[in-house]
Structure 1
């Protein structure tokens, strides 16, 4: 490829193959370089529906999964599934077009004599039957494949969320100023719902609500924020009033169910 002039599609295939190979022999650095090069070629040529680009996405997902980079692995697996969906649509469209062309060709070649009609009907039934069987098999295979991919995607997504949850929990325990920012990234709807109820909530109150969402006890909140236990109880009372939480509702359950 380096010594001869090759098309972009051929180069993309070569880089993908190199990346796939290096990934299999656990040379993650070379695998990442080759696969990223394949992506660059795809972007440059804008071959959005290249037959290899979905495989590049899948290879990158597997690479980052090995490297325990769950966020990147999930992102590329999601892109792979999107490309698969486009490929499936293209395959179905091509099959329908081929069937229609065949039927039209048979119809045009026939003079529509009485004797030709049974033959035309028989051919039509055969084509439709074969197409139907093929479609059913294809749909069954695609469903199974997509279910497997969905399970992999959900597993990766859960791993990413678990890791993020562990990180923001540690930030809360250290009383880190970036806690609320990271919390918003993991639970964006939670903060939005709080502000819908009371737009005047301050950051300190949002931070307190976030800690209750994570089910920290009053003692834990007092220890992590360096205040007295009584102060935390008073804050809980004020938050109830600010958010109109009825006295009979457990405050932890309120925050747990806020975005459901």
Structure 2
């Protein structure tokens, strides 16, 4: 339902320092904060995002137009990476208006690219292409020697590839990435060129994974090999491991497949990017179904339902925004597009409410801007209450409090079963052997045996307290 999307935004990030270096900011402190945020974004996009509203206010107070547009662009990249299309369209329009006022070619083109992505995702490729054509025409006004213009043009090609993927035309998508690879030869700096091609090879691997597994594996490995050492694992590396996992899955080498998918999820959790996480969840569920590992298959089934309900809600809202935007455009020019959009809107709405009714227990996370602080004592009480009720929502609630826990365990031993991860969650909550036995309705000896098996699987030394060890995960 929610398919793979090509890497777009990580390429625009390459030019973030170029913007700073080319413009003199009026406030050195603001400049330093924005530069630090750019570095943080590469490591953890969620932490970086939390700073953006404050930085945006400061840039507005200082009337720093470049900083305003730069921060809006970064917000767009965040919403894209999080598959939050409803927030993306609103922020893209803000960026479009600002860039028009300040006559900035780069950001004006980028706003059109983001809008093209939204229309393509909502199944309106012709409208998406019109936005990309507008972006390209805008960029033709710029200096062809400018690196900012170069990277913006690369994003146009990436977005064209995404549209072809949405139209189920992967071969045409691959041609666009080959154009990008060819254009990269003009980059004079070796490190910058390697970074650019590292992204392109990851894109190409993902596209080939849809119809040629040998080529997909080749380009994923090539991307990993060319990646500069100082570049933090990012969306491209998530895709590389996902592609390799998919290839191993097709070859029925399930152990290697699971290991690579877990590597991808680990980076995704650490970095905060989850644009294509649903594809990994589907693959892992299929593998565990084949291996007849029911608890792990059920775990990823729940992950899929949770992801798709959230994505469907975002898509429903973004489609509403798309319809409103298109209606405004009808006043200026006669365009029958909205007649096709209304029935699509109705279908999405019906699907959303059906999914919402089916998944009453799934707690959808609110946007980070409104996320409340966690009260640990109350949270602990709530988790214990879910355990005592034997509520299947326990692990969902637990992972909200400790989002890295499962992935960190799997990086230590990819063969851990979901039941074993859930047992480790009880240890994380500092439950004693007797308390675990009582809650789980098993004998204390059984709990002790489970602890022993967990020690062996995770290679925990006998002289180390298992509770202390788990607490560090």
User: TM-score band (shorter)?
Assistant: 0.3 to 0.5
TM-score by length of 2: 0.27
Bigger Rg, which one: 1
Could you state the TM-score of these two structures normalised by the residue count of structure 1? 0.46
